Amino acid sequence: MNIAGLIQGIATLAWVGLVAFIIIAIIRASRNAPVKKLGKIILMITTAAIGLTFVSAGLAFIQPEERGVVISAFAPKGYREVPLQPGLRWVLPFAETIVRYPISKQTYTMSIAPDEGANQGDDSITARTLDGQEIFVDASVIYSVDPDKVVQVHIQWQNRYANDLVRAQSRGIIRDAVSQFRVDELVSSERMQFTEMMRAAMEKKLSENGLILVDFVLRNITFSPEYAASVEQKQIAEQQAQQAKFVVETKRQEAEQMRQTAQGQADAVIINSKGDAEARIIQAKAEAEALRLISAALKDNPDLLMYQYITKLSPTIQTMLLPSNAPFVFPLPNLTQQ
């Protein structure tokens, strides 16, 4: 509890005690009992109550999160031009009053949801885009009262700045900003630029009226039922096109794979054919070389062919031609018996 509140509480108790002693004095006086001492006590309590009331009316404790505007009967303009800073402050009792303003951050929300906004029910901003589409915007304005401009806020707005300034300006600025973009831009490429445009305009307007913009939050953009249905149909068509493209690509890859397989098989056949041909060429060259060598050998030794012929005869052969150029053939067994 601050000192000003404590003194005010003591002053209240003093006035209650004064009333109680007055009642007691009246009761004792009605019974012809002495009330002289009670009179002194009542006088003391009255003096104390008046003094405490006077002091409590002049003392004020300003919290750290607020500033005080002093309305004065003796000031030339009817108010002090400098606001009261945090701490225990003194004003002229009964001649000056204090109006307190919070300087902490405040949030004003406008939402399509019934229980989210500052006002009950649908409080979203209805606006039309550059291409004539109707949209509904949910937004929040986070702001605070400028500590150095509290007196200005009091003079211009009093405690109406939330509804009459923040709400009115933000709704007008949002509508103006929406009208400069197409609906597809607001939900894709230009959303950041759209938000920054509104934030800059809000910051300027609030600053001119003694408020500080902390942040502007674009919460949501809702479309009309007709446009939402068209967007859904477009997305479905795009998904179907993507699916068809995927199927075509899959078939193309399968065909390419089959072509590569066939090409590989053809290449294998060609390689095998080349191998067989080369093998036959090598074999033919070897046979030709062998015939050449045999021909050379027979040329130098004509009897070699006869020798080869004899060595190739089967062991069961029972005849012999003698001499080699004679027309006579003798059976070998008979010759052996003779």
Give the whole-angstrom CA distance, residue 263 versus residue 329.
Answer: 68
- Which of 133, 116, 226 has the alpha carbon at shortest distance from 178? 133
* High-pLDDT (> 90) share of the chain, %: 28
CATH class, domain 106-223, is: alpha beta
Give the whole-angstrom CA distance, residue 267 versus residue 284.
Answer: 25
Select, from the ranges 28-32, 176-180, 183-187, 301-305, the one with the highest average predicted confidence (pLDDT).
176-180
pLDDT value at 232 more than 70:
no
Two tokens, residue 155: 């003079």
pLDDT tens-digit profile of 132-165?
Answer: 888 899 999 999 999 999 999 999 999 999 999 9
pLDDT tens-digit profile of 192-205?
Answer: 888 899 999 999 99
Give the model's pLDDT for residue 142.
Answer: 95
pLDDT value at 105 more than 90:
yes
Neighbours of 138 (CB within 10 A): 20
Give the model's pLDDT for residue 121.
Answer: 79
Instruction: Establish whether the linkage from the previous residue to 323 is cis, with ω within 30° of 0.
Output: yes
Backbone φ and ψ of 141, nearest 5°: -110, 115
Give the model's pLDDT for residue 146.
Answer: 95
Contact 52, 9 (CB under 8 A): no
Give the model's pLDDT for residue 254.
Answer: 83
Give the model's pLDDT for residue 54.
Answer: 86
DSSP E strands, 161-276:
211-223
Lowest mean pLDDT, pick from 47-61, 129-143, 284-298 = 284-298
Give the model's pLDDT for residue 215.
Answer: 93
pLDDT tens-digit profile of 71-103?
Answer: 998 888 899 999 999 988 888 888 889 999 999
Give the model's pLDDT for residue 313.
Answer: 61
Give the model's pLDDT for residue 207.
Answer: 94
Residue ranges of domains in the chain = 3-101, 106-223, 236-310
Confidence of residue 104 (pLDDT cuts 50, 70, 90): very high
Contact 169, 202 (CB under 8 A): yes
Quote the mean pLDDT of the chain. 82
Two tokens, residue 146: 């400028």
228-252 mean pLDDT: 72
DSSP-assigned states of every residue in 10-25: HHHHHHHHHHHHHHHH
pLDDT value at 184 more than 60:
yes
User: pTM for the full model?
Assistant: 0.61
pLDDT value at 322 more than 60:
no
Select, from the ranges 83-87, 118-122, 262-266, 330-334, the one with the highest average predicted confidence (pLDDT).
83-87
For residue 104, with 0-12 CB atoms within 10 Å meaning exposed, 13-18 middle and 19 or more buried, which class applies?
exposed
DSSP tag of 272: H
